């Protein structure tokens, strides 16, 4: 008998006798519903300056480098990992694999394509919230995009780049006539998909095995669209949550970053979504933090001390607002049930390396250790996808693989 199937009242039974047991803590915990799990990813396109991100020491008491200092009040609630990556190289051309571990060109050969972790988790809670996942960016890609989110069929998911649009989507109800038109549109799409599915099924019997595999992938995509339409229709008649906040004004990246963190926190608090992403784009306005030059240019510092100092300021800004976001989740009691991942698909933007990615995981109820150093030898290297697999399992997804995982991640309990 599994713990989840234990009855609420228990007895010791013998031959012809039954004795009622007192209320036991173990059985009480088994009867309680599982806590709602959430996931947020924050990513940038150019990595982090190593000496300002990775602690030199290992363990819970590791001294935090300059840019991690804002997280000091949250010690015990986060972990930085050294020597985690996807085992590939390709510079900017590989940053899109950050949340998937799979190149888009290699997606057709993978069971789940190059689906990113956010989309993977969102499938497991689809229908439970109005938005299975909310993908955002603090501005346009400009000199460097993250390309963070990907569907199972290899389609890049574009983020919403204006905070006003994110706010309206989450917290402003549509006019009744617009909702009615949307309902009609959903009905029309469903009828078209039904017709296409029927024709495709009849065609399948006349195709070669290779073509049948291609058609099966196509039909799978159609079924996913059908499910998405059905779920969106179910929320048409339900009002969005109302929050005590005015509609924000769009602006440069440094203006939108704190607003996005605020809106995502509100979305989690109101259960509008349980999965979200925030991209820090290459269009970051460095002058706003007192730095001359552009974010992308600073990342190509070539060890120049002035450029590196400017880049550290840009990165400090990002971690400063991440710390505020984590602090808010802690204050509202959501941090222990929210896995917050910060990182990049680029390790060192100047060297164009995708090794030793800057990975920070906060919250989620883990036994955090501040800094964990993993093996750096090639034969013993732990794939980043192993961490993602363990994160998916903690989120509640029943799976034994993700991306190019080789097993679960044992560094955190």
Report whether 145 contacts 158 (CB < 8 A).
no
What's the whole-model pTM score? 0.83
Chain position carrying tokens 């609420």? 8
What pLDDT digit, counting tens, does each position of 77-133 carry? 999 999 999 998 888 889 999 999 999 999 998 999 999 999 999 999 988 999 999
Report whether 376 contacts 83 (CB < 8 A).
yes
* Cβ atoms within 10 Å of 235's Cβ, excluding its own: 13
What pLDDT digit, counting tens, does each position of 126-157 carry? 889 999 999 999 999 876 678 999 999 899 99
pLDDT of residue 302: 92
pLDDT of residue 3: 39
Mean pLDDT over residues 204-218, rounded? 73
pLDDT of residue 189: 58
User: What is the DSSP code string of 68-80?
Assistant: GGGGGGGTTSEEE
What pLDDT digit, counting tens, does each position of 375-389 carry? 998 888 999 999 999
Mean pLDDT over residues 26-41, rounded? 71
How far apart CA 347 and CA 252 sit, in angstroms, is: 25
CA angle, corner 339, sides to 408 and 276, nearest 5? 115
254 contacts: CB under 8 Å, gap ≥ 6: 284, 285, 288, 289, 317
pLDDT of residue 182: 61
What pLDDT digit, counting tens, does each position of 70-87 carry? 999 999 999 999 999 999
End-to-end alpha carbon distance in the chain: 25
Which of 353, 328, 344, 325 has the alpha carbon at shortest distance from 282? Answer: 344
* Cβ atoms within 10 Å of 21's Cβ, excluding its own: 10
Report whether 54 contacts 79 (CB < 8 A).
no
pLDDT of residue 8: 40
Largest CA distance in the chain: 85
User: What is the DSSP code string of 166-197?
Assistant: HHHHHH-PPPHHHHHHHHHHHHHHHHHHHHHH
Count of CA atoms in the C-beta half-sphere (13 A) of 365 = 15
How far apart CA 25 and CA 315 sit, in angstroms, is: 46
* Cβ atoms within 10 Å of 66's Cβ, excluding its own: 14
What integer best gives the mean pLDDT of the chain? 87
Report whether 344 contacts 46 (CB < 8 A).
yes
What pLDDT digit, counting tens, does each position of 52-75 carry? 999 999 999 999 999 999 999 999
How far apart CA 183 and CA 177 sit, in angstroms, is: 10
């Amino acid at each position: 008998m599994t713990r989840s199937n234990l009855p609420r009242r228990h007895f010791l039974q013998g031959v012809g006798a039954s004795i009622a047991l007192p209320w036991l803590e173990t059985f009480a915990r088994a009867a309680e519903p599982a806590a709602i799990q959430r996931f947020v990813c924050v990513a940038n396109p150019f990595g982090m300056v190593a000496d300002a991100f990775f602690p030199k020491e290992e363990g819970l008491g590791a001294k935090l480098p300059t840019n991690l200092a804002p997280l000091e009040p949250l010690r015990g609630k986060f972990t930085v990992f050294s020597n985690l990556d996807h085992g590939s190289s390709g510079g900017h051309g590989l940053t899109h694999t950050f949340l998937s571990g799979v190149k888009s060109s290699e997606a057709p050969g993978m069971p789940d394509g190059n689906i990113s972790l956010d989309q993977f988790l969102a499938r497991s809670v689809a229908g439970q919230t109005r938005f299975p996942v909310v993908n955002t960016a603090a501005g346009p890609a400009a000199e460097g995009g993250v390309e963070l989110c990907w569907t199972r069929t290899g389609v890049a998911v574009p983020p919403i780049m204006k905070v006003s649009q994110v706010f309206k989507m989450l917290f402003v109800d549509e006019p009744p006539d617009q909702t009615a038109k949307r309902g009609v549109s959903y009905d029309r799409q469903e009828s078209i998909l039904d017709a296409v599915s029927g024709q495709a099924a009849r065609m399948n019997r006349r195709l070669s095995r290779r073509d049948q595999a291609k058609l099966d992938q196509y039909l799978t995509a159609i079924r996913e669209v059908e499910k998405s339409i059905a779920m969106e229709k179910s929320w048409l008649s339900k009002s969005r949550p109302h929050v005590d906040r005015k509609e924000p004004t769009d602006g440069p990246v440094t203006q939108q970053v704190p607003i996005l963190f605020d809106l995502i926190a509100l979305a989690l608090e109101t259960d509008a979504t349980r999965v979200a992403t925030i991209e820090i784009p290459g269009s970051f306005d460095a002058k706003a933090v007192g730095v001359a030059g552009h974010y992308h240019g600073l990342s190509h510092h070539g060890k120049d001390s002035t450029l590196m100092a400017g880049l550290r300021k840009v990165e400090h800004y990002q971690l400063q607002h991440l710390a505020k976001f984590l602090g808010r989740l802690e204050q509202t009691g959501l941090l222990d049930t929210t896995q917050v991942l910060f990182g990049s698909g680029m390790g060192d933007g100047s060297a164009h390396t995708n090794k030793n990615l800057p990975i920070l995981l906060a919250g989620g109820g883990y036994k955090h250790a501040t800094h964990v150093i993993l093996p750096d030898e090639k034969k013993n290297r732990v794939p980043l996808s192993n961490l993602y697999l363990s994160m998916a399992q903690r989120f509640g997804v029943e799976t034994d693989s993700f991306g190019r995982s080789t097993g679960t991640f044992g560094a955190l309990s």
